[in-house]
Chain A
Amino acid sequence: MSNNPSTSENDSIPFYPTHVKTEVKVSLVVLGIFLIVGIIGFLYPLGLGDPADPMNTPAHVKPEWYFLALYQLLKYVPKTAGVVAPVLLVGVILLWPFIDRKPDTSPRLRKFRAIGVAIGVIILIALTIWGEVS
């Protein structure tokens, strides 16, 4: 077994057993949460809607919650732009490290990014809730 103590500067801990123990504890918490979910699901099953009927469109068709924001957006933005914009957005996110290359020189940039993320997340959550209630 590893008997590596922390380094002389005391700025790190050994992976095994210290960090592994922490990870095991976090895993047990997550597994515990989903065990509770399973027990609740066992007592109150999720159930199914009506069987699929290709001839009969139901009144309110909605995608799963993570697509609701996009769905709501598409109702107000013209179709082509509304579809191309998210695809381009995914492309920008994919290539972001090649767009923003400068290394962080001060904590200010981190604050800007945090504010940008907060605004984006609030908009997305608002669109999702709006998609759910309309």
Chain B
Amino acid sequence: MKLSSRWTVHLGLTVFLVLAVVAPVFITAQAKSTEKGSSPPKADTLPGNTSNIPGALVNPEVAVPPQPKQDPCLHCHITGENKGLWTPLARWTVFGTAGLLLAFGLYRSVSTYTTRAPWKPITQRTTEWIDKRYNVSEPLTKVLGKPVPRYALRWWYCLGGITALLFAIQAATGIMLAFYYKPTPEGAYASIQFIENQVRFGSGIRAIHSWASNGMIVMCIAHMLRVFIMGAYKSPRELNWVSGVVLLVATLAFGFTGYLLPWDQRAFWATTVGTEIAGSIPIIGDLALVFLRVGWSVSDLTLSRFYGLHVIVLPISVLAMMGLHFIMIRRQGIARPL
């Protein structure tokens, strides 16, 4: 077999076997002392203990109740009292890398040995495998080969793309928050406290979600102003501008609906004031107020509606609008400045 494949197999196997033997010894030894309910009780902590030696173990022949199973969440997600932050990260990285190296090396060496096929880089093998089945290289070359005019390389042409990237960041962090958030008045506040204190990196994810929402609004408006100043909304790009304004309104709606979700005083009353303002629009005001609040005052139904808007309606609308926006840009090209 090829020299590099053999080397890869040997390296992967060695690392994996060494870790597989050594790591459980270390981890179980550490686990015994830090996981809840896994050490035998120390004598000086038991009631009615007469031994004066601190830390002395109870006679193991005395019956102790079976140890409770450890909460599975403590393995990765939730910071327990003594679980280090880096243990699962280190385990996943080391074992994962070694395992991947081993798997790749095994596959490469086996395939080259059995088929006696010439060696090709793995990237080329992958693309050829896909192309043989789905015939994508021709349309893909056409799509990827589209020329980008040099005038579109100035920094202010990046603002729209940055807005889209921030939307992606919001989607990712939002999903992670939605895994723990409870959309009821009774559960919302406590669930966010849980995210901040108990969920691994929860406070960081929440901070990113909060700041990226502000960033997205700023970038969206900056992009809109750039397009406005350069007159790129004029024919034939009118509908592109309209879809962009719809996206801006949706982004502000994202901010408005998301703001209520912590269900603290600031959120509750800012939403009350905001919906009150919507209610003072003539003719449709009452309808707007009752639609937003699901009733005449902000309640648990308001929270559910805002959560549904924030997590289902607005994301689908924004994705659809962004799709149209990008398709139109692709077909018409970036507007040429004067």
A: residues with CB less than 8 A from B are 1-2, 4, 6-7, 11-16, 18-20, 22-23, 26-27, 30-31, 34, 37-42, 45-54, 56-58, 61-67, 70-71, 74, 79-80, 83-84, 87, 90, 93-98, 100-101, 103-104, 106-107, 109-110, 113-114, 117, 121
Contacts and interface: CB of A to CB of B under 8 A. Distances in A.
A40 B207 CA distance: 8
Contact of B207 (A7, A42, A58, A117): A42
Contacts of A12: 147-150
A64 B150 contact: no
Interface residue SS majority, chain A: helix
Interface stretch (B57-65, B259-267, B304-312): B259-267
B148 A15 contact: yes
Given A38-B205, A48-B189, A26 B158 contact: yes
A67 B249 CA distance: 12
A39 B304 CA distance: 31
Of the candidates A1, A14, A18, A95, the one having the most CB atoms from chain B within 10 angstroms of its own CB is A1
A5 B330 CA distance: 20
Contacts of B207: 37-38, 40-42, 45-46
Contacts of A107: 338
Nearest to B208: A38
Interface in B195-242: 196-197, 201, 203-208, 210-212, 214-215, 217, 225, 228-231, 233-235, 237-238, 241-242
Contacts of B196: 45-48
Given A37-B211, A45-B203, A94 B280 contact: no
A14 B148 contact: yes
B204 A7 contact: no
B185 A52 contact: yes
